[in-house]
Amino acid sequence: RRSAASALTQALDPGLAKRSLLSSPNSDLQFDSQQQPPAAPVAAVFSIATGGHNGYAADERRVEEKDFFKWLTSHGITSLWDFRLPSGDWSEPSSLKRACAARSIAYRTYPLGLREAGGLPGHLCSEEGQDVLRRFAEVATQGPAAFVVAQSGHAAGTARAEVAERLLVTGTVAKVLHILPGGQLEEHVASAPAEPSPAPAVAPQEVQLTSPAAEAPKE
């Protein structure tokens, strides 16, 4: 009994080195009661287009493969996310994936704008669309990333503008830089939120109050 009591005393002695073996592995952890601040938005992402598709403006020229990758590499793009619907030319997803791999550019394809999802605006606002944009922004924290659409134009209502607006509205990125034909950059300017229409003026109506005592009882 003495040996057992002695061993217990030594084990509980905080001055002994073996005391650390009995301590909880979580005893040195410190917890901050304050909530962690939200992650800062990605500084910038890029957009690029393949161009040359039916239904676009007459000056919408087709982008050649060599120019496409020249513009991407000139801005150090390491990841390309394809938001287009299948096109059927050199930039068709399987072909574009091989071309990106040959240049050490990570490639992902997530077609946005399906008719059953409400077209591009509806798809971007859906749970699936928002998840794709969030993951795209996360990838952009690891290196320069670009999303690719078909239409080269970037005016309001185009695919570039629609995607850029959603990225800026959700606060996942600080700015979107459009890679234009020729390789130059142009920062996307977010649209001003629409102001609510003023409520129609209603003329005040005079209300006459009559005391119950002043009303004669009806017989």
**Mean pLDDT per 10-residue section of the chain, whose length is 219 residues:** 57 51 45 52 90 57 92 97 85 94 97 92 94 95 95 89 93 92 92 52 50 53
Structure confidence at residue 195 (pLDDT): 45
Query: pTM for the complete prediction?
Result: 0.69
Structure confidence at residue 69 (pLDDT): 97
**Six token digits for residue 186:** 């142009």
Structure confidence at residue 131 (pLDDT): 95
Structure confidence at residue 215 (pLDDT): 53
Structure confidence at residue 165 (pLDDT): 95
Q: How far, in whole angstroms, is CA 144 from its chain's centroid?
A: 15
Structure confidence at residue 136 (pLDDT): 96
φ, ψ dihedrals at 176, nearest 5°: -120, 130
**Burial class of 163 by CB neighbour count within 10 A (0 to 12, 13 to 18, 19+):** buried
Q: Could you tell me where the beta strands, DSSP code E, fall in the chain?
A: 45-49, 79-82, 106-109, 145-149, 176-179, 185-187
Structure confidence at residue 196 (pLDDT): 44
- Interval 22-55: pLDDT, tens: 444 444 444 444 555 556 677 899 999 998 654 4
